[in-house]
Structure 1
Amino acid sequence: MACSSFVKRVAETDPQTSFFSINWNYMPPSGSSIVHPHLQVNCGEVPTNELRAQVEGSSRYQKENGRSFWEDLVETEKESKERYIGEIGTTFWSMNFVPFSFLPDVLCVFAQNHSLASLDKDSLRSFLDGLSRIIAYFNSENILSYNMSVFSTREEDFFRVNARISPRLFPRAIGNNDMAYLQALHKEPFTVRPPEAEAPKVREFFH
């Protein structure tokens, strides 16, 4: 709640700031340092590369098709059922079509929210409920570290607030980690478990 309140204050006082994210590195494999609870809020005039791709892609899709990319994404994933996990309140949950991490990551779309600056308490509670279920699934798979980002712009009709929760692995005894040249240098996502295979496992935590 403190993070969303901060974003709202920034949006109200600085009209040049248009891009927002709430981020979490949980445990050292995700990039954290000492173990302590906190989230990192980014607010700026220039989006990160991922947020820029989302904004530009969403805007282009709506101009070319006359429909919301995010609404079409939700509808398509629900119909295919391959990666669909469930819905809680106004939040939609699915395994991400193209995982960013070695293990499949999870996508959440805030179906009725265009910006963190106007996020309502019900949507926030729905997200936290779903997030707790994703963490329970991670625990069942002995996944003890993850990154999370919630992406947002100002109020843009073509955009929806969305989140990505990405598992990270602890180094094994030989000291290797969960990224290699393919991800680090070629920017090619690679996963050892298909999202479609993981979806039924995660879905159990939403019933």
Structure 2
Amino acid sequence: MTIAFQKTEEWFAFHDSQGNAIERKTEIRFDPLTGESSRLVYDAGLAIAPPDLREAAEMTSGAKCPFCPENLLKITPVFPSEIAEQGRIFQGDAVVFPNLFPYSKHNGVAIFSAQHYVTLEEFTAAMIKDAFLAAQRYIASVAAADPQARYASINWNYLPHSGGSILHPHIHVVVSEQPTNDQALIQEKAAAYRQQYGTEYFTDLYETEKKLGDRWIGECGDVGWMHAYAPKGHNDFQAIFSRAHSLEELREQDWLSFGEGLTRIFAVLTEQGFASFNAAVNIPIRPEARQPVHARLIPRFTLGMLHTSDINFFQALHREPLSYKVPEDIAAKARIHFGAAE
């Protein structure tokens, strides 16, 4: 087990308008797997105000929303019979159907329920479990019908700040012959790690972070949560399914545990003023991938009266994430919400 947490510091020295000396630190951290860097930058007191979307919810719900009950079975498309005998996949209140504007060879959309606007506080573990279990069933159907399908992920744009174009809560299930850049990099680096050390990276990360405790948050069932050492956002929560190393090893209980953990993470976001996020769950389709199911979640927001995006040239063009928040501090806040799950 060899997980290396590396960082360096840079200091910017200047003077204020009165001639007083000022120093500001930028801490550059390197991802333990990929080596990619991210920067912890000076926080002048980031204050986030969650958007009020109640009026938007009223204006876009019901007959105006393709995912609401009035339209769901009339407007949404259907899968071919080899993917879903009924054309769609149903699990509790969740429904999976094809994306009209696909990102990949196979792209399903799963709604959580009939409720058009669900706040973070209103999500339940059971609601999350049903949607992600339905997504898993879709991936399994695709894998059985298409042997070329090798890469699968479940992705969540929650609310408009995250890039979500429809307010009704939904997730994207993407299955492809080709990996995304992130999936390809993780696969390459994880294989190199396994060859060098003879162990699996995410399992080692799970065990190392749990032992160290600095960024460890807690567990719900067999799903462990921690904050990323080199964050991709102003919070960056990672989840590792310790006993599920492929699609076929995922159990319904795992999704319930994941949902329970997510509701606690949502509480951490809420108390900081965050309301929107991007999340992704990577699921190895074939057992030979030898990699646990793992997830990542970062909040999305805007700043100030101009509603400035939280992403600027550093993230968009230099591919260098910035964070005003210190991972160890956020992990300490989050641990409070996981106390009962230890």
* Shift, 1:141, TM fit: 1.4
Cα distance in 2 for partners of 1:19, 1:176 equals: 34
Q: Answer yes or no: is the 8 Å Cα contact 2:246–2:290 preserved in 1.
A: no
The structure showing larger relative contact order (alpha-carbon pairs under 8 Å, at least 6 residues apart) is 1
The DSSP-based 3-state class of the residue aligned with 2:281 is strand
For structure 2, list consecutive stretches of 5 or more residues without a partner in the other structure: 1-132
Pick the aligned partner of 1:170 from 273, 293, 302: 302
1:106 alignment partner AA: F
CA deviation string 1:158-194 (max 9, x = no partner)? 3111000111113431231101111111111110011
Q: Which residue in 2 is equivalent to 1:146?
A: 277
Does residue 1:113 correspond to 2:261, yes or no?
no
| Larger-gyration structure (1/2) | 2
Change (3 A) 1:75 1:118: closer
Measured after TM superposition, the shift of residue 117 of structure 1 is 4.5
Amino acid at match of 1:204: I
> Following TM superposition, by how much is the alpha carbon of 1:79 offset from its aligned partner in structure 2, in angstroms?
1.7
Q: 1:182 aligns with which of 303, 314, 318?
A: 314
Q: In structure 2, how many angstroms separate the alpha carbons of the residues matched to 1:166 and 1:176?
A: 17
For the pair 1:130 / 2:267, whether they are aligned, the reply is no
Alignment of 1:10-21 (within 5 A): 10-21=142-153
Moved over 6 A (4+): none
Cα distance in 2 for partners of 1:22, 1:172 equals 32
Distance 2:270 2:313 in 1: 28
SS of the residue 2:148 aligns to: coil
Cα drift, residue 55 of structure 1: 1.4
Q: Which stretch shifts more, 191-200 or 150-159?
A: 150-159
After superposition, give the CA deviation of every residue in 1:40-74 in whole Å (9 maximum; x if it has no partner): 00000101111111111112211111111111111
Count how many residue pairs are aligned between Structure 1 and Structure 2.
Answer: 206
Q: Distance in 2 between matches of 1:125 and 1:34?
A: 25
**Mapped contact 1:145–1:170 kept (Cα < 8 A):** no
TM-score, length of structure 1 as denominator length? 0.95
- 2:323 is matched with 191
- Other structure's SS at 1:108 match: strand
Corresponding position of 2:196 = 64
Q: Check the 8 A contact 1:59/1:158 in 2, yes or no.
A: no
In the alignment, is residue 79 of structure 1 matched against residue 211 of structure 2?
A: yes
**Structure 1 or 2: more helix by fraction:** 1
Structure 1 residue matching 2:296: 3-state secondary structure: strand
Q: Quote the offset at 1:116 in angstroms.
A: 3.2
1:104 has 2:235 as partner:
yes
The structure where strand makes up a greater share of residues is 2
